[in-house]
């Protein structure tokens, strides 16, 4: 892997990147990779400080990691289930760093349970955070992107968005609603890519697969049956960077798995700061 360092004159010099769900895991790794290319980073999540979540990792940790390496970063605590928080989030970034050039929709809240047991409250919350929040945040950043005729939106999906195929397994793990959210997110991505193509704005999906993060561990998704499918987090961060920096005219409307994308581009993942 390439050397891990901040390049203030990198490919994203002067760009403002907003990464949601960046207190840990994939979001934190994406923020680090974009910062390495000189982007000015705004990170958001519900967990700003220690003690606010049962999972390890905070926005403060992410910002300190980026700043210690020489990057420019700020945090905005926000609950993306709330429209007012989404509007405040974008406004604070614009007021502090400038218009958003790169939007990474990574935040999620997930419950795994069978359809028969799924409550309306949890169903609506998952769709609010995983589908409507990316939709709304895109609406909020698009005017400035259109004005500058440039912008990149990357939505983080999952293979769960694919249709199950026979032979069906009797013992599912309750991922139907999660899969519905990701399928909707992917359809939104390709549709928006078509709408804003002439505006010079790229809209893409990276589908991580199975990555060893605190959230994945909390749901017990890595076990003896799945362990050989775990992918290094550096692959996801690199794939997102490639789709958040490419030519919007030739690299948009894509739904990509990280490793095949990097092989197609002939790119090796960078180590992270």
pLDDT per residue as tens digits for the range 140-185:
999 999 999 999 999 999 999 999 988 887 555 789 999 999 999 9
Percent share of the chain, pLDDT over 90: 81
CA distance 25 to 55: 10
Architecture (CATH level 2) of domain 16-265: 3-Layer(aba) Sandwich (3.40)
For the chain, what is the largest distance between any 2 Cα atoms, rounded to a whole number of angstroms?
A: 54
Would you state the pLDDT for residue 222?
A: 55
Would you state the pLDDT for residue 49?
A: 85
Helix 25-36 and helix 233-243, axial crossing angle in degrees, nearest 10: 50
The predicted model gives 71-88 an average pLDDT of: 98
Sheet of 16-20, strands arranged across: 72-77, 40-45, 16-20, 102-105, 151-156, 201-207, 255-257
**Which band of pLDDT confidence, cut at 50, 70 and 90, is reported for residue 187?**
very high
CB within 8 Å of 82: residues ≥ 6 apart: none
The count of other CB atoms within 10 Å of the CB of residue 9 is 9
Would you state the pLDDT for residue 231?
A: 83
Mean pLDDT of the chain: 92
**Span 23-42, pLDDT tens digits:** 999 999 999 999 999 999 99
Would you state the pLDDT for residue 194?
A: 98
DSSP designation for 149: T
CA nearest 59: which of 35, 83, 78, 33? 78
Would you state the pLDDT for residue 82?
A: 98
Question: Residues in the chain, how many?
Answer: 273
CB within 8 Å of 97: residues ≥ 6 apart: 16, 40, 42, 74
In the predicted model, is pLDDT for residue 228 greater than 60?
A: no
**Which band of pLDDT confidence, cut at 50, 70 and 90, is reported for residue 225?**
low
Q: Where are the domains of the chain?
A: 16-265
In the predicted model, is pLDDT for residue 210 greater than 90?
A: no
Helix 176-195 and helix 120-127, axial crossing angle in degrees, nearest 10: 30
Annotation says 178 is catalytic: yes
CA nearest 208: which of 262, 258, 272? 258
**Which band of pLDDT confidence, cut at 50, 70 and 90, is reported for residue 92?**
very high
The span from the first CA to the last CA of the chain, in angstroms, equals: 12
Determine if the pTM surpasses 0.75: yes
Catalytic residue among 111, 132, 168, 178: 178
**Span 229-263, pLDDT tens digits:** 568 999 999 999 999 999 999 999 999 999 999 99
What is the Rg, in whole angstroms, of the alpha carbon atoms belonging to the chain? 18
């Amino acid at each position: 892997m390439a050397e891990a360092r901040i390049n203030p004159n990198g490919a994203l010099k002067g760009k403002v990147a907003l990464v949601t769900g960046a207190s840990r895991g994939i979001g934190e790794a994406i923020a680090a990779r974009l910062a390495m290319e000189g982007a000015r980073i705004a990170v958001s999540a519900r967990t700003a400080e220690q003690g606010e979540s049962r999972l390890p990792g905070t926005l403060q940790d992410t910002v300190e990691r980026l700043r210690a390496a020489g990057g420019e970063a700020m945090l905005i605590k926000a609950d993306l289930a709330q429209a007012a928080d989404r509007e405040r989030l974008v406004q604070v970034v614009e007021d502090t760093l400038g218009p958003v050039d790169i939007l990474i929709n990574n935040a999620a809240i997930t419950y795994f349970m069978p359809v028969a047991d799924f409550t309306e409250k949890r169903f609506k919350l998952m769709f609010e955070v995983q589908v409507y929040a990316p939709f709304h945040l895109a609406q909020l950043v698009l005017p400035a992107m259109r004005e500058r005729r440039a912008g990149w939106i990357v939505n983080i999906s999952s293979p769960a968005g694919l249709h199950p195929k026979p032979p069906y397994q009797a013992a599912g793990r309750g991922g139907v609603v999660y899969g519905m959210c990701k399928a909707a997110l992917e359809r939104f991505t390709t549709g928006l890519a078509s709408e804003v193509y002439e505006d010079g704005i790229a809209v893409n999906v990276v589908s991580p697969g199975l990555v060893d993060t605190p959230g994945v561990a909390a749901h017990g998704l890595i076990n003896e049956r799945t362990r050989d499918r775990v992918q290094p987090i550096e692959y996801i961060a690199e794939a997102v960077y490639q789709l958040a920096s490419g030519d919007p005219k030739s690299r948009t409307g894509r739904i990509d798995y990280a490793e095949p994308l990097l092989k197609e581009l002939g790119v090796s993942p960078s180590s992270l700061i």
